[in-house]
Amino acid sequence: MSEKLAPAASEEPSVQPFIPASQSLPEITVKAFVLGFILAAILAGANAYLGLKVGMTVSASIPAAVVSMAILRFFRNSNILENNIVQTIASAGSSLSAGVIFTLPGLILLNYWQGFPFIATFAIAFIGGILGIFFSIPLRRALVLEAGLKFPEGLATGEVLKAGSKGGQGVKAIAAAGFAAAFLKLCQTGFKVAASPVTGAVSVGRSIFGAGLDLGPALLAVGYIVGMDIGTVILAGGIISWIFAIPIFMAVADPATVQGIVGDATGYDAAGAIWSARIRYLGVGAMAVGGFWALIELVKPITAGIRSSLAAMQQARGGGESEIPRTERDIPFNVVLISTVVLAIPLFLAFIFIINPSELGISTGLYIGTIVLSFGFALFAGFIFSSVAGYMSGLVGSSNNPISGVTIATILAISLILLSVLGLQIDFSIDVGRATSAAATAILVGAVVCCAAAISGDNLQDLKAGQIVGATPWKQQVMLMVGVFASALVISPVLDLLFQAYGLGGVLPRPGMDESEMLNAPQATLMSSVANGVFLRSLPWPMIGIGAVIAVAVIILDKMLEARGATFRAPVLAVAVGIYLPIDVTAPIFVGGLVAWAAGRHLARRQAQLGQEFDEIHQKDAGRGVLFASGLITGEALMGILLAIPFALAENTSVLAVPFESLGISPEAVGVITTTVGVAAYAGFIVWLYRVARSD
C-alpha cells in the first residue's frame, strides 16, 4: 500500500468517548465546583501578570486537569468527569484574562482611565466572556465534531485525563515528558541558563533576513499534534513576513523611516522592530479577510448546528429528551437566544457608563446613536470573531490562538465606522482629546469581542476534551460560566495592583517609579495605537491592503487544490496566523509537524511489512506520541504558571536567574553557554518525541 495512505503519527487515537453516553457519573459536584472556582481565580491573576509582561498567556486546561487529578485523588468517589469539570472552570482564568489584558489597558495608555474601575472592568469581562460561551454553543457540532480540526490542547487535555484515570504506561509517558519539559522551562525562564528562543539574522544591503526558533517543548508538541500540513502552512505565513516582507520593506522604504522604527536595534531585533511596527499589519489584513471567508464557509455547518439544537429542543418538549445521547446535549438554543438578549441590556448600560458624552463633545442624539452603533457592532463582531477564534483554536490551540489579531480587525473596523459618523462634526487630526475618546470607544468594543473570542476558543477546546472523555456538553458550558464569573471577579483588583506596582506600557501611576520594571502590555499598546491611528490618520494602510490581497490569493490557491482533489490544503487562516505571529513561534510548530511526518513514514513502512496488523500497531504508537506530546505541553504550562508566583512576589522576572556576572563570566560567554544548552536540550526533545512516536 502507498505510504500516502498511512495515517499521520499525530492522528487522534480514538473518537469513542472514554465514558460511554449510556453511563452517567457525577460531574458537577461541590468539590469540583469549589476547586475549579479557586483555580480559575488564581490562574486569571497569574496570567494577567505574564500577559502584561511578555505578551503571552498560558493555557490553564492541562495544568488544571493535573492539579484536579492530584487533589481529587484524595476523595474516595472522584471520577474523570469531575476532573474534566474542574479544568473546564479553571481554563476560563487564562482565557478571560487574555481577553481583558489585551484590550482594557489600552484605556490606561490613552489616559482615558487612571485605574481599573471594578464595576466597568467586571461588566465588560463577565458579559463578554458569557457571550463567548453562548456564541460558541452552536459551533460545537460544526467545529468539534464535523470540521476535522485537531484542537491540540483539547485533545491533549482529554488524553491526560484518560491516562490519569487508567494509570500505567500512559501516566508514566505524560509524567516523564512533563517533568522534563518543566525542568527545561525552569532553566529557560527561571534560572536563565538555557536560551529560548534562539534567533539570528543576515544583512544584505539595507535588508535584514531574520529567523528564530522557540526552544520550548510545548510548541514542538503542538506541531506534532496538528501535523505536517498545518505546520507547513503556518510556517509559510511566517516566511512571507520574515523572508520576504521585512527585507523588501527595508530595501524600498525611506531610510529615515526605517531608522525611526529600528532605532539602535540591530540584527534580529531590528527585523523584529520592523515586523512589529509595519509587517504584522499584513497579518491584520490577511486575518480580516480570512476571518470573513472562514465565516462564509462555516455558514452551512453553523446553520446545521442551530437546526440540530432547535430539533433537540423540540424533541425535549415532546418528551423525547431521553432519546438524545447524554454526550450530545448542549444548552438549549432558546435558552442561548433569550440569555443573549438579556445580557445585551447590562452591556448597553456598561457602554453608557464608560463612554463620557462630554469628552466626545457631541449632541445627545448623536451620542446615543454612537453608543447604539458601538454596542450593536460589539454583538455582531463578537459572534463573527467567536466563530473565527474557535476555528483558529482548532488549528493551533488556545495558547497560540492569535485573538489579538481578530481584535485588531474589530477595532480597525469600528474605528473606521466611528470616523465616518463622527468625522462629519469633528476634525480628529487637530482635536486630540476627542480623538482619544473615540479611540476609547473602539477599544471598549474590541474588549467585548476579545473576551468573547478568547472564551469561545477555550469553550471549544474544553468541549473537545469533553468529547474524548465522554462528558455532558451542557454541564461543561454551564460550569465555564462559573469560571468566567470567578475570573471577572478578580481581574480588576489584580490589574489595578499590577498597574500601581509596575506601571503599564509607558504610563506610570506616580513619579519616581523604576521604568525598567514597567510591564510593557504589548497587545494593549498595539490596540491603542490602531484605534488612535485611525482617528489621527497614521495607520500603515498599504500593509493592511497587501495582507488582504495575500489572503485572497491564498483562498484562490486553496480552492484550486480542492478542485484537484489534493490531500494538502492551504487554509487561509493558518497562513494569516503565520504572518501575524513571530517567526520563532511558527517555526517550532513546523518542526513538530516534521516529527509527526517522519514518524508517519516509519509507521507506513511497518504497515507494508505487517499488513493488517498495522492498524493495531498504529493506534498504540500514535496514542503514545499524543500522550507524550500532551506531557510536554503540561510540563511547560505548569512551570510557566508556577514561575509567575516568585516573579510577582519579587516584582522581577530575573529573581531566580543564575548570577553569571558575579561568577566572572562575560555576557558573550553567557550567550554561548545558554544557546548551546537550549539547542542541545531542544534537539534531545525532538529525538525523544520521534522515538516515542515510532515506538522502537
Instruction: For the chain, give every domain's residue range.
Output: 3-694
Task: Tell which residue, 56, 453, 400, has the closest CA to residue 225.
Answer: 400
Query: What does the pLDDT average to over 373-388?
Result: 90
Grid coordinates representing 388 are: 473565527
The predicted structure's pLDDT at residue 167: 63
Cα angle at 255 between 254 and 258, to 5 degrees? Answer: 90
CB under 8 Å to 514, separation ≥6 — which residues?
none
| Whole-number Å distance between alpha carbons of 539 and 459 | 34
The predicted structure's pLDDT at residue 505: 80
Task: Tell which residue, 312, 356, 367, has the closest CA to residue 137.
Answer: 312
- Given a cut of 80, whether residue 393 has pLDDT beyond it is yes
pLDDT per residue as tens digits for the range 269-319? 999 999 988 998 898 888 888 877 877 776 776 676 667 666 666 666 665
Peptide bond into 325 cis (omega under 30): no
The predicted structure's pLDDT at residue 610: 64
The predicted structure's pLDDT at residue 612: 47
Grid coordinates representing 630 are: 500532551
pLDDT per residue as tens digits for the range 210-260? 999 999 898 898 888 778 988 899 899 999 999 999 999 999 999 999 999
| Whole-number Å distance between alpha carbons of 392 and 293 | 13
The predicted structure's pLDDT at residue 340: 93
Q: What is the Cβ-side half-sphere exposure of residue 620, based on CA atoms within 13 angstroms? A: 8
Reduced to 3 states, what is the DSSP secondary structure of residue 447? helix
- The region of weakest confidence among 16-20, 456-460, 552-556, 639-643 is 639-643
pLDDT per residue as tens digits for the range 118-146? 999 999 999 999 999 999 888 888 788 77
Report the share of the chain in percent with pLDDT over 70: 87
Reduced to 3 states, what is the DSSP secondary structure of residue 507? strand
CB under 8 Å to 177, separation ≥6 — which residues?
217, 627, 628, 629, 630, 631, 632, 634, 635, 688
Provide the mean pLDDT of the chain.
Answer: 84
628 in Cβ contact with 689 (< 8 Å):
yes
Residues 288, 292, 298, 299: what is their CA dihedral angle, to the nearest 10 degrees?
Answer: 160
514 in Cβ contact with 508 (< 8 Å):
no
Residues 653, 657, 661, 664: what is their CA dihedral angle, to the nearest 10 degrees?
Answer: 180
Grid coordinates representing 665 are: 563570566
pLDDT per residue as tens digits for the range 534-546? 888 888 889 999 9
Amino acid at 23: Q
**Predicted TM-score (pTM) of this structure:** 0.76
The predicted structure's pLDDT at residue 604: 76
| Whole-number Å distance between alpha carbons of 503 and 234 | 35
The predicted structure's pLDDT at residue 56: 59
